[in-house]
Amino acid sequence: MTILDIKTAGNPVLRQVAAKVTKIDKRIKRLLSDMADTMYKADGVGLAAPQIGVSVRIVVIDVGDGILEMINPEIISKEGSCINVEGCLSVPNFDGEVERAKSVKVKYQDRNGKPIVLNTTDILAIAVQHELDHLDGILFIDKANSLMPKE
């Protein structure tokens, strides 16, 4: 179990477009495991590799249904609209209202390189959109309609 340092707003790695993973090897699998450990330790529901200083297209998410590991994820369709309050491990002092699609279809590879297409809705769809934004250098505060200090 390795807990990694979570980068916060102002760190330039959070504004970079992350590189595509070209080879899934032991290093990438270890990164997935370490990211999950870090996310759980920080009591988060998602974590993107740039948030721990590694600019590659990897995210981990757990909204209560078990860990979802995504390598090179890409949203292929969106439907509907909803506004929810979001927070972020990289912006620890604020929450904000963000409008996002209510459902998304995402394609990605799992830790074994298997291609997956997943239809998501509600909280999982929001988490997917939030984490994939990190891979393009976008923070939720860039999209928030309003920001509120955490109490």
Q: Which of 79, 99, 131, 151 is catalytic?
A: 131
Is there a contact between 115 and 107 (Cβ–Cβ < 8 Å)? yes
Nearest Cα to 109, choosing from 149, 82, 147, 69?
A: 69
* Helix runs in 4-121, H state only: 26-41
Check if 151 is active-site: no
Determine the Cα–Cα distance for residues 109 and 114; give it in Å rounded to an integer. Answer: 5
Residue numbers annotated as active site: 131
